[in-house]
Chains A and B, each alone.
Chain A
């Protein structure tokens, strides 16, 4: 069940990314470990802002500052981990 839950969460995060930054790709094509910025998906700093807004709106998860943001907005996996940690109270 835990694995299915993680998979579902990852799929929701992928859909959020595609929607928030208006990517012209299908969410499933984003690999969990693929870098979102730079040479990965090619997102930029404005896209980071869109992701921060979308994370709060769609998951109720707030990224308090750019230091945390730069650790969280790395890949689908790091975002999923942050959502899980935040929801379980591991992250302030």
Chain B
């Protein structure tokens, strides 16, 4: 399979704006690990409400970043690209620090188990080398 970091992100994920939460793939290690990036623009519409005068990236969107990175590596692990994976389980997720407009998220996902159509990943998000969120996700291939 071709190197993923040379591909446009829309070739790797079925998501589209305004719900595309990966800008680019930085690296892939083996068939199990991915590092991706998402820059948080100060102009994101959700900052108007979360929260007025005190903009913070909603935790659920950080989860979505990690889920989309997991989706890319899951499809790659299964020798497919752009399959649709549904987020099926969130385990032991911790939010350690808030994320602000202008931050760049470094998103890491590693496949730690796979059975039938389900894949489990260990995930984390970092900003400036500091972990802001980490946990485990399970994704299930559509139709699985």
Contact = CB atoms under 8 A, between A and B. Distances in A.
Interface residues of A, number: 11
Interface of B: 88-89, 112-120, 138, 140, 144
Contacts of A63: 115
A45 B144 contact: yes
Interface in A37-92: 45-46, 48-50, 52-53, 56, 63, 66, 69
A49 B112 contact: no
A15 B83 CA distance: 35
B3 to A, nearest CB: 28
**B118, B120, B140: residue with the most chain A Cβ atoms closer than 10 Å:** B118
Contacts of A52: 113, 115
Given A49-B114, A52-B113, A52-B115, 11 more contacts: A45-B117, A45-B118, A45-B144, A46-B140, A49-B113, A53-B113, A56-B113, A63-B115, A66-B115, A66-B116, A69-B116
Interface of A: 45-46, 48-50, 52-53, 56, 63, 66, 69
Contacts of A69: 115-116
Nearest to B89: A46
A53 B120 contact: yes
Contact of A48 (B112, B116, B119): B116
A62 to B, nearest CB: 11
Contacts of B119: 49
Nearest to B88: A46
A48 B120 contact: no
A46 B117 CA distance: 9
